[in-house]
Amino acid sequence: MLSQQIIESLSKFIPETVLAVSILVILIAELFTKKKSNLSGYLALIALLITFIFTVHQNSYEPQVNFFQMVAIDPFSYFFKLLLILSALLIIIFSFLSDDIKNIDYK
């Protein structure tokens, strides 16, 4: 009963799980790149787009609470998830276009 409720709640927590796993992948990828590259930026863009897709899919869910009534999925949380994802996407895109970041000399 308890494990069934946890598994059921995890299925509603996919966007956050994708985001957490992608952060770990970006950190590991950054450890293995020897020279300055935009790999982490591109991986972050891809991860945020995938998270955005899963979040948009959550719009079809009825308002509910999960994880023993600690996490709510409702229109208010949906709005803020989309707002944060779109803000992060804009920040990453602007960082690719910034001359200040391109001219940093890493030693």
Contacts of range 84-91, beta carbons closer than 8 Å, 24 or more positions apart: 85/48, 85/51, 85/52, 85/55, 86/52, 88/44, 88/48, 89/45, 89/48, 89/49, 89/52
Positive or negative, the CA dihedral 25, 74, 52, 83 is negative
Instruction: Output the pLDDT for position 104.
Output: 67
pTM of the model: 0.81
Q: What confidence tens digit (pLDDT) does each residue in 52-75 have?
A: 999 998 877 777 777 777 777 888
Regions of the chain with pLDDT less than 50:
none
Positive or negative, the CA dihedral 58, 63, 66, 72 is positive
